[in-house]
Amino acid sequence: MYTRKLFGLSLLAGLTFAGLTVARPAFADLTNRIDATHILAREYELPKQGVGAAAGVAYADGQTDIRRVRRTAAPKQLGQKETFWTNNIASGKFEQITATLRAIGKHCHVFVQDTQTVDQSAITRVQKQFDEQIYPVNTGHFGSENKPGLDGDPRITLLMLDIQDGYANPNDGYVAGYFFAGDQMLQSEFESHSRVKSNEREILYLDTYPCDPKASDYLEIVAHEFQHMIHHNLDRDEVTWVNEGCSQIAPVFCGFRPPGHYKLLKDDPDRSLNNWAKWNPMPDYGQVYLWNQFIVDHCLPDAASRSGFFKTLVASKKKSIGGYINALKGINRSFSDTFTDFSIANRINDPRLAKGRYAYTQSALKKFRLPPTKHVKTFPQKVSDSVYVWGSDSIFADISNVASRLKISFSGYRRSIGSTQPYFRLAAILQDSTGIQTPKITFFNLDVNPADKNRLIGSIEVNCDGSYDALNIVIMALAPEEVDDATYMPASGFIYDLNFEVVEAIANASRGTHNLDMNAFIEAVNHAASDYSVANIRMREHYANLLIRTVKRDIEMGSLTTVDSFIESASGNQHLAPFARDISGMLLFFRNQQSSVFSDEDLQNRIEMLGTFK
């Protein structure tokens, strides 16, 4: 029994679908909602074949996976009541509820639990959006549900109810909805002692508390769950990360905003793309969405290409990575190269790098960037860490005060797992926090260590001449595509070492003589201030040091250009108040030392203006 309390904040910490219709409490966090489809699939093992079903019914995979219509559907009338089996996820039991038919559409019947109060306008909106947008877009991109289905009715039941998930406090995770595969089977197909109860129809469960059916995000839930129904009809044995990834991109195809779980990946970025965590899957929801969005942004420019790709993926009988390999071949892409570009984009996401190859075009992701795994400020330095297969790390090196050739050496231990031997890829990206210089990327050439065949080694050298102030090393662990990843997943992390050492001083290094692009600089600071993770705190320290060094250099050269640019561009920005205090302190030092060409009045005026920053 999985953590019943619907996971308090463990497994359910991020659920995205749930139920009542008193309005959703203002404190219900959208990133704390989850789809329970994969939870129920793990909780209830469904039989491959019926034990008491009528003769002639097909159950196997492939061509025979089309269920016969079991009965003739009787027309339904608005206002009629029906009894449904629902899953109390918190207690792990099936319970019966009654619900009333409140809307009839071309493709759906909308029922509402009798204990819930839902505005008719919200119900009508769900029905119309499903008929006019969600149904045609999802079937156009992923394929068809079982139709007319087990009950002989081509319409899908949308049941709006308070899903019993244990939600009680603002920090609780909650279930926003689910599709349950057991409903696609006759009750007679289960053993008499089975806990499973089937509604014997195509049905989606949509939460009403703390979810709000009137909220703008509610239709995202419907689109997400409907993809699960389609996927089950075409490939019921697909692994969770692929199935959930398709459901995460489905709302975007339908014109809704991207699901917000990708923001949670910032707190736990080194995750295997193809390994779904059992106890904290929320960052995984974010990662599989980003993966599909990256493919859409860079490989699928129109509706026809998106439809062809995802229909191929969903219909493929190859599982996990194999399905993507198959679909990517159709657009002349390899899985490994796509994963490499995806990993770098998640760490850099700069459209100026390699003509946008490592950036998202989805507007909501323009400023998205995973934080560095570690920061390096002084040299020589050694970093030791590990990275999961089909995962990535990034090491941020502050080179703003370095005037030398810097050598970065790599050694990675790639032990064999099963029949495969994972390998590493490394990219070094030179960046300019001031926004002036275009970033540059170089890949490491890695070879097998002659003294240890399980280690890959390689190095690069970088000229730190002042043109760039940051070096980002992205470390990725991959595996041979031809090997079924089911044979080696999940796998523990692969250990690596990075050594940074100065090999030669550069006599004419400028050490940052260019001016700051203040607008780009402030945008970078604001991005780092979006949360208070350790990584972002260190990034703000980097920006503060860079700014102070630039101001000091300007003053020594008889200029207050950077100070004036900061005052003009940063006024009213609360994130920049600490920077203003640092600059003010430096000006005060120069005034007291009388070591500059500026008058006390010039410096004092600027000190006072900087003092207004709050």
438 and 586 in a common domain: no
- pLDDT tens for 495-507 read 999 999 998 876 5
- Say if 274 falls within a structural domain: no
pLDDT reading at 420 higher than 70: yes
What pLDDT is attached to residue 508? 57
- pLDDT tens for 460-511 read 999 998 889 999 999 999 999 999 999 999 888 999 999 999 988 765 555 4
Q: Where does residue 322 rank: exposed (0-12), middle (13-18), buried (19+ CB within 10 A)?
A: buried
Name 230's Cβ contacts closer than 8 Å, sequence gap at least 6.
138, 139, 142, 143, 144, 145, 314
- pLDDT tens for 261-281 read 999 999 889 899 999 998 889
Query: Of 480, 505, 530, at which residue does a domain stop?
Result: 505
Query: Of 505, 535, 555, at which residue does a domain stop?
Result: 505
Query: Residue 494 in contact with residue 389, Cβ under 8 Å?
Result: yes
- Between 20 and 271, whose confidence is greater? 271
Which amino acid is it at 218? Y
475 and 531 in a common domain: no
Q: How confident is the model at residue 6 (pLDDT cuts 50, 70, 90)?
A: very low
pLDDT reading at 334 higher than 60: yes
What pLDDT is attached to residue 481? 93
3-state secondary structure 451-490: CEEEEEEEEEEEEECCCCCEEEEEEEEECCCCCCHHHCCC
524 and 495 in a common domain: no
Helix (H) or strand (E) holding 398: strand 391-398
560 and 478 in a common domain: no
What pLDDT is attached to residue 396? 96
pLDDT reading at 428 higher than 60: yes
578 and 495 in a common domain: no
| Mean pLDDT to the nearest integer, 163-186 | 89
- Say if 179 falls within a structural domain: yes
571 and 487 in a common domain: no
187 and 39 in a common domain: yes
- Say if 271 falls within a structural domain: no
Q: How confident is the model at residue 29 (pLDDT cuts 50, 70, 90)?
A: low
pLDDT reading at 360 higher than 90: yes
Between the alpha carbon of residue 4 and those of residues 197, 219, 329, the distances in Å are 19, 27, 43
52 and 199 in a common domain: yes
- Say if 303 falls within a structural domain: no
Domain count, the chain: 3
- Between 9 and 340, whose confidence is greater? 340
- pLDDT tens for 100-129 read 999 999 999 999 999 999 999 999 999 999
| Mean pLDDT to the nearest integer, 178-202 | 94
pLDDT reading at 54 higher than 70: no
537 and 447 in a common domain: no
What pLDDT is attached to residue 594? 66
Residues 375, 383: Cα–Cα separation, whole Å:
9
**Residue written as tokens 């050492």?**
501
540 and 441 in a common domain: no
522 and 501 in a common domain: no
581 and 526 in a common domain: yes
CATH code for the domain of 450: 2.60.120
- Say if 9 falls within a structural domain: no
What pLDDT is attached to residue 172? 75
Residues 241, 531: Cα–Cα separation, whole Å:
27
- Say if 272 falls within a structural domain: no
This prediction's pTM: 0.85
Cα distance from N-terminal residue to C-terminal residue, the chain: 51
What pLDDT is attached to residue 466? 83
Q: How confident is the model at residue 433 (pLDDT cuts 50, 70, 90)?
A: confident
Q: How confident is the model at residue 30 (pLDDT cuts 50, 70, 90)?
A: low
pLDDT reading at 162 higher than 60: yes
Domain that holds residue 485: 374-505
What pLDDT is attached to residue 56? 34
- Say if 604 falls within a structural domain: yes
- Say if 189 falls within a structural domain: yes
Q: How large a percentage of the chain has pLDDT more than 90?
A: 60
